[in-house]
Structure 1
């Protein structure tokens, strides 16, 4: 599932009942992320923090879908642990977790080596994460080792960047960008066009090379 790949439709059993992926996502963005196993400490913190931040994903029209290769009963029992550990999760657990005992979906998404999928001792998925747009296309992927938990603020920052640059196709977001901060105007946009697109002001940076390709603006 590389960037630009269209995610095929699939059916799965989840803690919120059976889903057919394309129908379930409808016209939303989707955050799909995997975990090595249930009842593991780092995964418990990740699912808990993402659950707490669900309103921030909803504001961005993003549905959340977790994945693990354990069975449905295991997921349900684990969810109770997560809610006990993360006491600030209001109400019911707010998003589904896919049960993928066959590990077929894990292989399809490149989270697991197919040759290892039938060995439960080593068939643990990496921490894979995919941001999928309403056209069912993978727009961003992140892969972490089992030892490193993900940062929810970074996930939200990436979604903000993707959605902003979809709306304004002549810009990109620089390193450490946060919403409201300066953005970069793409090199293929001429100076004349840039001035028309951003009449409230552009900062142009002269480079020693003579290639003056760094143009920024906060007026977007």
Structure 2
């Protein structure tokens, strides 16, 4: 069964291998048709035929299309509204609308919004607050509020901070907008440590 997660893994593996033979083995037109088939009217994507619709599917689909230069308006249509509907009152992003904020889905939602140039529509100040408060006394990160820290969330939450370094100007704009007066957030882009090296 074709699946967006395995498509994401395979495309990234072939890109890592590099070379003409590896890259030419990707049938972009067939893959594009699969992405179109997974696209839903809500703006979300299904992971596979009959599968779940969630933010992870949005990220894998948009990321693959972006990497292969097949991302177009049809694939992007309404994706930002779907992801916005998944941002919770805490600031993190859940897997689907009305779900609990989660570290992996927050990374996927944030990365997708960056890839489609809609990250300014997220409440970035609250998102930063949610991420910061996921760090436990053990120095690791929890994936959800009131859960134990878990090693994998150092990747997901840490990856989100790396992404936020790329959108500092949007964060600063949100902090000075008049409609943000009264927000309890005190985060600024300068609070995020400088990210060295490459990021998505």
Instruction: Check whether TM > 0.5.
Output: no
Higher relative CO (CA 8 A, sep ≥ 6), structure 1 or 2?
A: 1
The alignment's TM-score, normalised by the length of structure 2, stands at 0.24
The alignment's TM-score, normalised by the length of structure 1, stands at 0.22
More helix by share: 2
Structure showing greater Rg: 1
